[in-house]
């Protein structure tokens, strides 16, 4: 990776500013932009939301850091505003939800393959299969409530079939905690991966909690309630893999480095020039934030940031369909369950999770209801029996556009 964290200092914090017009820019096109542009928008909003939550928590515990945290935080607040505003209002809430699940599947799949720690790679694969199933359930809801095809959002990058059934994803809290990486020995990529996926899942949990009540339909509300509950488990899982012994300043530095890492990947792969310029600007600002955090780390901890951060960051997340990997994992690992911090075959699942699940599912599972007998078809399930024909000749031409 060309970026050097110790030489590329970015835009100094005191020169970072926005106008309201810059914060509210034209959104991406739901119809014409590539689905991975939307994936990047959603992921980066999640990264910014975590930056904000972390910064507030840090400020509450560290009087001396409150001013620099506030100075960085207001810029990140505005970055989050600018990024999240790129989603157009022609997305219904369920369409945005489908896009959130595409983020969870595709990004977690890449991370699972890049992760050098085999145990953590397993953790990511485990979570990914659950989000994969959520996509299937939400696609059924979108079809059966709004009469829309989820593939209009997914653009054929992501499959729409069952994964690990949501009804068996509910677990006792002790089965949602995992072992954490060790700050002294873990690879930088391990730390960035954990922050990225934890941020994304946390955003999803918050989103589902907030938007579920926007629907009048009690079935849709139940669906969001059930899946939000799994997302809470996912946040519990992913935050537990991060070493709790890292100092506040170490964590702050890692957050800023992770923002640099992810904005760089977005900028590098974005085909829409207007959105690419936004990623570039945010990258420049985040490099400035990292400088602030590194200076404070040196000042307060009397340590060299190079103990924590390499000069060059790892290869960025690849924004491309992970279909083959996801299918392989689906085939091999759908029957895994969690027992404490470990993963076991479903026949060895513990009593605590079984009991918890029996209680929470005792009045039925909304996700089962929503997707009863559901099989995705291009153009929604209402075309069943008269599937739309492919136009091979036209399709060959249009494939070139992508």
Partner 1 sequence: MGKSTISGKNRTGIDMSPIDAKEMMALVRVSPPSSAGNEQAIAERRSQYFAEAGVIGSVPPPGTLKGIASTAMEKLTGKNPEAFIDKLGCRLAFERAGVRLYDALIAKCSAAPANSIVPLDRLQDFRNEELEHFKLVENAMRSIGADPTAQTPSADVDGMASIGLVQVLTDPRTSVAHCLEAILIAELADNDAWQLLIALTEKMGMSDMARDFQNALREEDEHLAYIRQWFRQMVMEDAAVAS
Interface with partner 1 (CB under 8 A): 26-27, 30-35, 88-90, 133, 136, 144, 151-153, 155-157, 159-162, 165, 167, 216-219, 222, 321, 323, 327, 364-366, 368-378, 388, 390-392, 394-396, 398-399, 401-402
- Cα angle value 109/236/86 (rounded, 5°): 55
CB of 32 to partner 1, least distance (A): 5
Helix residue spans in 85-117 (DSSP H): 93-114
Question: Could you tell me the sign of the dihedral formed by the alpha carbons of 229, 233, 236, 238, in that order?
Answer: negative
CB of 372 to partner 1, least distance (A): 3
Question: Could you say which DSSP state residue 343 is in?
Answer: E
HSE (side-chain half, CA atoms, 13 Å) at 321? 12
Both tokens of residue 77?
């607040």
Closest to partner 1 by CB, 116 or 271: 271
Rounded Cα–Cα distance for residues 244 and 289 (Å): 23
Of 116, 250, 137, which is closest to residue 183 (Cα–Cα)? 250
Closest to partner 1 by CB, 152 or 174: 152
CB of 271 to partner 1, least distance (A): 10
Closest to partner 1 by CB, 173 or 218: 218
User: For residue 277, how many other CB atoms are within 10 A of its CB?
Assistant: 12
Closest to partner 1 by CB, 351 or 392: 392
CB of 397 to partner 1, least distance (A): 9
Closest to partner 1 by CB, 156 or 277: 156
CB of 328 to partner 1, least distance (A): 12
Residue recorded with tokens 């997340």: 317
Of 226, 240, 292, which is closest to residue 13 (Cα–Cα)? 292
Closest to partner 1 by CB, 24 or 57: 24
Closest to partner 1 by CB, 162 or 310: 162
Of 126, 186, 127, 199, which is closest to residue 309 (Cα–Cα)? 186
Closest to partner 1 by CB, 138 or 264: 138
Rounded Cα–Cα distance for residues 400 and 214 (Å): 39
CB of 114 to partner 1, least distance (A): 23
Q: Are 99 and 38 in contact (CB under 8 A)?
A: yes
Tell how far CA 242 is from the center of its chain: 16
CB of 401 to partner 1, least distance (A): 5
HSE (side-chain half, CA atoms, 13 Å) at 25? 18
Closest to partner 1 by CB, 217 or 304: 217
Closest to partner 1 by CB, 217 or 295: 217
Per the DSSP assignment, residues forming a β-bridge with 98 are: none
CB of 358 to partner 1, least distance (A): 17
CB of 36 to partner 1, least distance (A): 11
- Cα angle value 374/376/378 (rounded, 5°): 150
CB of 343 to partner 1, least distance (A): 21
CB of 200 to partner 1, least distance (A): 23
Q: Are 81 and 23 in contact (CB under 8 A)?
A: yes
Q: For the chain, how are helix, strand and coil distributed in percent, rounded to 5? A: 65, 0, 35
- Cα angle value 242/248/253 (rounded, 5°): 80
**Measured CA distances, 63 to 73, 223, 295, 305 (Å):** 15, 42, 17, 22
Question: Could you say which DSSP state residue 322 is in?
Answer: -
Closest to partner 1 by CB, 340 or 379: 379
């Amino acid at each position: 990776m060309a970026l050097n964290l110790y030489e590329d200092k970015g835009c100094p914090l005191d020169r970072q500013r926005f106008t309201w017009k810059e914060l509210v820019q034209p959104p991406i096109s739901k119809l014409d932009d590539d689905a991975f542009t939307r994936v990047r928008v959603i992921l980066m909003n999640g990264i910014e939301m975590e930056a904000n939550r972390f910064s507030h928590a840090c400020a509450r515990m560290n009087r001396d850091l409150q001013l620099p945290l506030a100075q960085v935080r207001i810029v990140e607040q505005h970055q989050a505003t600018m990024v999240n505003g790129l989603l157009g209002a022609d997305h219904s809430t369920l369409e945005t939800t489908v896009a959130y699940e595409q983020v969870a599947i595709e990004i977690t799949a890449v991370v699972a393959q890049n992760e050098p720690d085999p145990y953590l790679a397993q953790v990511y694969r485990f979570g990914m299969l659950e989000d994969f199933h959520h996509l299937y359930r939400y696609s059924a809801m979108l079809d059966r409530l709004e009469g829309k095809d989820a593939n209009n959002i997914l653009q054929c990058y992501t499959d729409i079939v069952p994964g690990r059934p949501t009804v068996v994803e509910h677990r006792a809290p002790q089965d949602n905690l995992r072992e954490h990486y060790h700050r002294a020995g873990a690879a930088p990529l391990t730390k960035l991966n954990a922050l990225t996926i934890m941020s994304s899942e946390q955003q999803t949990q918050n989103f589902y909690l907030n938007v579920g009540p926007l629907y009048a339909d009690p079935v849709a509300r139940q669906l969001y309630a059930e899946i939000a509950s799994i997302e809470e488990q996912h946040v519990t899982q992913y935050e537990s893999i991060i070493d709790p012994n890292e100092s506040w300043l170490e964590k702050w530095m890692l957050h800023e480095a992770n923002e640099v890492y992810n904005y760089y990947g977005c900028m590098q792969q974005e085909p829409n020039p207007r959105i690419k310029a936004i990623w570039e600007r945010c990258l420049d600002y985040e490099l400035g934030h990292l400088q602030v955090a590194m200076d404070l780390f040196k000042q307060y901890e009397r340590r060299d940031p190079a103990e924590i951060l390499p000069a060059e960051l790892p290869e960025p997340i690849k924004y491309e369909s992970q279909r083959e990997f996801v299918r392989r994992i689906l085939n091999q690992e759908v029957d895994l369950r969690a027992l404490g911090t470990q993963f076991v075959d479903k026949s060895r699942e513990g009593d605590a999770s079984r009991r918890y699940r029996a209680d929470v599912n005792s009045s039925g599972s909304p996700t089962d209801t929503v997707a009863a007998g559901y099989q995705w078809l291009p153009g929604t399930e209402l075309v069943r029996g008269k599937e739309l024909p492919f136009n091979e000749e036209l399709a060959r031409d249009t494939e070139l556009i992508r």
